[in-house]
Amino acid sequence: MKPFLPSRIALEAVEPYRIPQFERAGYLRLDVNEHPGGAASFVVEAVHAALSSATIATYPVYAEWHAKAAAWFGVGVDELTCAAGGDEAIKAICEAHLLPGKALVTVDPGYDMFKIWAQLYGNPMTGVPLLPGFSFDREAWLHAIAQPDVGMIALVTPNNPTGTLCDRAIIEETLQRVTCPVVIDETYAEFVGRSVADLLPRFPHLFIIRSFSKVHGLAGLRAGAVLSQAQNIEALRRVLNPFNVNRAAIAAALAVMAHPEETRAHVLEITAARTEFVAALTAMNVEPGPANANFVLAHFGDRAQEVTAHLAQEAILIRNRTGSHPRLNGWARIAIGDRPQMARTAGAIRKVLVPPPRLQTLVFDMDGPLVDTSRSYRVAIVETARNLLIAQGAKEVVLAQLTLEHVELLKRRGGLNNDWDCTAALIAEVGGEVDTNAIYETFQRIYWGEVGEGLIAGEPFLIDAEQRAHIRGRFQTAIVTGRPREEALHTLKLNGALGTWPVLVAMEDSAAKPAPDGIFLALQHVQAPVAGAAYLGDSVDDMQAARAAGVYPIGILPAGQSWSSGLAEKLYAAGAEVVFASVGEVLKWLQQ
């Protein structure tokens, strides 16, 4: 690269902050501490309402934001100003108050943006090492801030990337011992339920940074705030750009402040998910870092890149911190989503780090794991509902609601393993009359036909001859399916698979899933114990049945369902230990 043009700041001294270089839609984004669930619907509505041809063409006004944010953060209107995220706040405070030649003191490892701005302005940087386990070293900290060249002190609490929480007593002691600016970055404060904003009247050198990016899901809009005494805010406004926060960000921030119950609910969910995820890591002998924010460090050692790469294959992004700091080699930072998302993440990690169970018996659901029914059973449900609703005089606006996506949503609720029942639920949900006899007759005509020439004839069988031979040679096998016996036998005979699955428990033989009766019956037929047995299925009912039976639950994504479809989360929430994209992947995993 050619040399930079002459600059008043030390451009050569720093590496730019690295950000993702590709659009991450479709991934579970746990790599940059965002809100994995996205902004709330009322935020989207508020942004839409705020933007028009006229408002886009004019500069924003901040009076309402100042009034609402002052009440939200518990300060006076003249004691805060808006910023384009916490990073702009850091930049403005350093520009205004980090004097030439003075050192910036923070913890190490710590948030990179403080280091970047100190280096750009040519200021020395003092990083106070955290103790083993990333706990705060009070003695080293107090020694560092007592040095004569200290010009600014910065603490992110909880700290990014370690999650370390700095005790209020240490912050107060720091403020009492120094007169230089002390910056407390409370970007993650909502996740610990504490702030030091009440100290502002006592300490004129205290600055507090708050953000709407993390807990509120506004990272894409860049909305934050700086809190300090009025004279400091007036000084910062001379450094900050005019109109620095756009209309969309202001509208979104106002919307979240109008819905505090949403913030409380999100914090409770993240806290619960974090607790369960940390417990899952510990059970896998993975050391977690301090768990105080919407992320946690996990120590994978020399397998950190392997885990990161495997998760990416399953559309989960985490941040491998190896190479970013000597203390972080072998560690990955993982943002926390909701409980189903984190159960999915833990399951994906488990497939890498935990040896598979030693299984002797594999019991299979038929539809999904063995047979692609996306263009047969699912289509028969939609077409049966359509035919009967047309006969009832339904209008096109009602018929338009009959989609494969609608069927998938019904299936994910559980309790609708029987496709005739699912058809009845679909008809009822769009306001039609349910006639069970008519449903049965119409469905069977579409799916079965007269002698198996209906949609059943076009079902792809998903297990090839080599895989069948491997299954037959290594495991005792059975099928537990919600299909009628005649239809199940027809498909197995058509594909030459009867020899692989000699035991078939069909709809007529036991109670429907999620009852475990069919699995128990299958194990009885093959004379196999519950221990050492697994059930492979693609639905909520399948996983619940496996759990109830006490066998190892393995989820399978059926054809047409990707990792980003949301089904994997449903399967984990229903009890799956692991989820795979196909039976073939399960067989490879079991060979480890």
CATH number for the domain harbouring residue 57: 3.40.640.10
Q: Is residue 203 part of a domain?
A: yes
Q: Is the pLDDT of residue 69 over 70?
A: yes
Strand-strand pairing, 316-317 and 287-288: unpaired
pLDDT of residue 37: 83
pLDDT of residue 376: 87
Q: Torsions phi, psi of 309, nearest 5?
A: -65, -40
Q: Is residue 6 part of a domain?
A: no
Out of 237, 260, 283, a domain closes at 260
Q: Which residues of 418-443 are buried (b: 16+ CB within 10 A; e: fewer)?
A: bbbbbbbbbbeebebeeeeebbeebb
Answer yes or no: do 121 and 186 share one domain.
Answer: yes
CB 200 within 8 A of CB 223: no
CATH number for the domain harbouring residue 506: 3.40.50.1000
CB 537 within 8 A of CB 556: yes
* Pairs from 489-493 (Cβ < 8 Å, separation ≥ 24): 490/452, 490/456, 491/366, 491/371, 491/456, 491/459, 491/461
Q: Per this entry, what is the length of the chain?
A: 592
pLDDT of residue 19: 67
Answer yes or no: do 440 and 480 share one domain.
Answer: no
Lowest mean pLDDT of 15-19, 36-40, 390-394, 445-449, name the range: 15-19
| pLDDT mean over 565-587 | 95
Q: Is residue 220 part of a domain?
A: yes
Answer yes or no: do 477 and 440 share one domain.
Answer: no
Interval 328-368: pLDDT, tens: 999 999 999 999 999 999 999 999 999 999 999 999 999 99
Strands (E), 103-243: 103-108, 125-129, 150-156, 182-185, 206-211, 224-227
pLDDT of residue 3: 76
Strands (E), 443-532: 476-480, 504-505
Answer yes or no: do 405 and 274 share one domain.
Answer: no
CATH number for the domain harbouring residue 328: 3.90.1150.10
Q: Is the pLDDT of residue 16 over 90?
A: no
Answer yes or no: do 444 and 468 share one domain.
Answer: no
> How close are the terminal C-alpha atoms of the chain, in Å?
47
| pLDDT mean over 191-215 | 95
CA 442-446-451 angle, 5° bins: 110
Out of 260, 282, 317, a domain closes at 260
Q: Is residue 322 part of a domain?
A: yes
> CA 48 to CA 354: how far, in whole Å?
47
| pLDDT mean over 467-481 | 95
Q: Is residue 31 part of a domain?
A: no
Answer yes or no: do 200 and 303 share one domain.
Answer: no
Interval 94-109: pLDDT, tens: 999 999 999 999 999 9
Q: Is the pLDDT of residue 242 over 80?
A: yes
pLDDT of residue 256: 95
Count structural domains, the chain.
4
pLDDT of residue 415: 81
Q: Is the pLDDT of residue 20 over 70?
A: no
Interval 363-404: pLDDT, tens: 999 999 999 998 888 898 999 999 999 999 888 988 999 998
Q: Is the pLDDT of residue 32 over 90?
A: no
Where does the pLDDT of residue 440 fall: very low under 50, low under 70, confident under 90, or very high at 90 and above? confident
Out of 212, 237, 260, a domain closes at 260
* Beta-bridge mates of residue 317: 29
Where does the pLDDT of residue 79 fall: very low under 50, low under 70, confident under 90, or very high at 90 and above? very high
Average pLDDT, the chain: 93
Range of the domain at 525: 361-370+462-590
pLDDT of residue 17: 66
Answer yes or no: do 451 and 488 share one domain.
Answer: no
Answer yes or no: do 471 and 444 share one domain.
Answer: no
Q: Is residue 5 part of a domain?
A: no
Q: Is residue 69 part of a domain?
A: yes
Answer yes or no: do 444 and 483 share one domain.
Answer: no
Answer yes or no: do 175 and 296 share one domain.
Answer: no
Q: Is the pLDDT of residue 13 over 80?
A: no
Where does the pLDDT of residue 451 fall: very low under 50, low under 70, confident under 90, or very high at 90 and above? confident
Q: Is residue 1 part of a domain?
A: no
Answer yes or no: do 384 and 467 share one domain.
Answer: no
DSSP-assigned letter for residue 228: -
**Considering all CA atoms of the chain, what is the largest pairwise distance in Å, rounded to the nearest integer?**
92
Where does the pLDDT of residue 219 fall: very low under 50, low under 70, confident under 90, or very high at 90 and above? confident
Type of residue at 58: T
Answer yes or no: do 148 and 196 share one domain.
Answer: yes
